[in-house]
Amino acid sequence: MRVITGSARGRRLETLEGEDVRPTTDRIKEAVFSIIQFEVEGRSFLDLFSGSGQMGIEALSRGAKSAFFIDNSKKSIETVKKNLKTTKLETNAKVFSMDYMSFLAVNEEEFDIAFLDPPYRTGTLQKALELVVDTMKDTGIIIAENPLDEEILSNYGNFVLDRQYRYGKIKVSTFRHKDFV
């Protein structure tokens, strides 16, 4: 796994091993950043279930003002920190070792972009979508990755489903504020 473009282009990122880990594929990562390519620079990025941190790191590499990495796995957090050091992007990164609900309950930051890729088929995505809308700027975008057979609603708070993209057995959904769709 490598950083696709930007200041850390081509840098190899560490990944996590094990059955509980399912990194976003390069194909999906490229697709996500194609969708938001003109919305990243100078913006704040939330990588809510960060794993190795590759999505937030890609955002920082492309000029995001800041990226917040949240994961409840100590191994994931260690990997995020290593990857930030390797890419020399630690300055604008904030890393939190905590579960998403705790983070969203205490967070005071407003985000421009949120990427959610929690464990599949656990109900976590639906709950996270309900909560993350309160941390978003009205002009922001929420991106959710999940399997085709996992249902999500067409709106969460003031954020409504904008588009869905299919990549094999995975779908990527974007949500925007109802006033900006």
pLDDT in tens, 4-40: 999 999 899 998 775 556 678 888 999 999 999 999 9
Domain residues of the chain, as ranges? 31-180
E strand segments, the chain: 44-47, 66-71, 93-97, 111-116, 136-147, 155-156, 159-167, 170-177
Q: What is the per-residue pLDDT across 68-107, written as a single tens digit (0 to 9) for each?
A: 999 999 999 999 999 999 999 999 999 999 999 999 999 9
> According to CATH, what is the number of the domain 31-180?
3.40.50.150
Q: Are β-strands 155-156 and 159-167 bridged in parallel, bridged antiparallel, or unpaired?
A: antiparallel
pLDDT of residue 159: 98
In this prediction, residues 156-175 reach a mean pLDDT of 96
Task: Say whether pLDDT at 137 is over 70.
Answer: yes
Minimum mean pLDDT among 27-31, 81-85, 134-138, 171-175: which range?
A: 27-31
